Structure 1
Amino acid sequence: MLLIRDVLDKQMVDQEQNRIGKADGVVLSLSDGDPPRVAFIEMGSLTLSRRLGRWPHRFVLWLYRAAGTDDRAEVFRVPWAKVRDVGIDIEVAVDRRETPLERCQDWLRRHVISWIPGGQS
């Protein structure tokens, strides 16, 4: 497997085949005398913006601060041990309700969709 080609930017699905986001980063574990090992797959706007460069990352951090959520700005990490298959999608043994995507969708339901006429139907 070629790690960057086969993992980065791939769709991740949970144990029930629900889409939970894209693989935005890979975290390696280094120890003396051993080859690097994949420890986590990271998801989230902070990781993606860091990949895009210093200015996009600063902009995303500014957005978090402006929204008053910089204390909750976090990267979601999926341990490599929970990766079940890397194919067209990356299948992981996590529950979608534990991911930032679910929290984001819940926030949108409460603060945006509920105000749209017919949005709750």
Structure 2
Amino acid sequence: MRVQLAKQLLDRQIVDVDGRLVGRVDDLGFAVDAEGVPYVDCLLSGHAALGRRVGGRIGRILVAVADRLTDQPPVPPRRIPLAVVDRVGSAVRLRCRAADLPPSPVESWLRQHLVDRIPGSARASG
């Protein structure tokens, strides 16, 4: 059976179990099983993943921007294990909450250095 992963997964929105937007599928992470057969291990999301997929000058700029917006470059892409994917349709639906996933390094940096400094931001729902 032939599956067109790029067509079925890339650029789809990722939505958690509560309907909150987590990000987009910017690339795919592969692993190899004991018999040498590759399989999709996780979904990759974020500027670093998209920049590497796009490549060229634009891709390098995306990766550089992500690296500037973090305290510890280089920024790894956000890895969402395939095990938490519930179904794939017009969006990729997860069976967990966004808060249960590893945080995006860029979003964490922006929250710490920008959003949290906005008066009243502590009262905003997260």
| TM norm structure 1 | 0.75
The letter of the residue matching 1:42 is L
Unaligned segments of structure 1, at least 5 residues: none
The match for 1:79 among 69, 78, 81 is 81
Q: 1:77 to 1:11 in 2, by over 3 A?
A: same
Give the Å deviation of 1:38: 1.0
Cα distance in 2 for residues equivalent to 1:68 and 1:13: 24
The match for 1:109 among 112, 115, 123 is 115
In structure 2, the residue matched to 1:17 is 19
Q: 1:88 to 1:64 in 2, by over 3 A?
A: closer
Give the Å deviation of 1:95: 2.5
Give the Å deviation of 1:80: 0.8
The match for 1:27 among 13, 26, 29 is 29
The letter of the residue matching 1:109 is V
The letter of the residue matching 1:48 is L
Unaligned segments of structure 2, at least 5 residues: none
Give the Å deviation of 1:104: 6.1
Q: Which of the two has greater helix per residue?
A: 1
Conservation of the 8 A alpha-carbon contact between 1:61 and 1:70: no
Q: What secondary structure does 1:78 align onto?
A: strand
Question: Which runs of structure 1 show a deviation greater than 4 angstroms over 4 or more consecutive aligned residues?
Answer: 64-68, 118-121
| TM norm structure 2 | 0.72
Cα distance in 2 for residues equivalent to 1:81 and 1:67: 29
Conservation of the 8 A alpha-carbon contact between 1:27 and 1:38: yes
Conservation of the 8 A alpha-carbon contact between 2:45 and 2:79: yes
Q: What secondary structure does 1:71 align onto?
A: coil
Conservation of the 8 A alpha-carbon contact between 1:24 and 1:44: yes
How many residue pairs get aligned? The number is 117
The letter of the residue matching 1:103 is S
User: Deviations along 1:62-98, whole A, 9 cap, x unmatched?
Assistant: 3345456343622110111111101111011332224
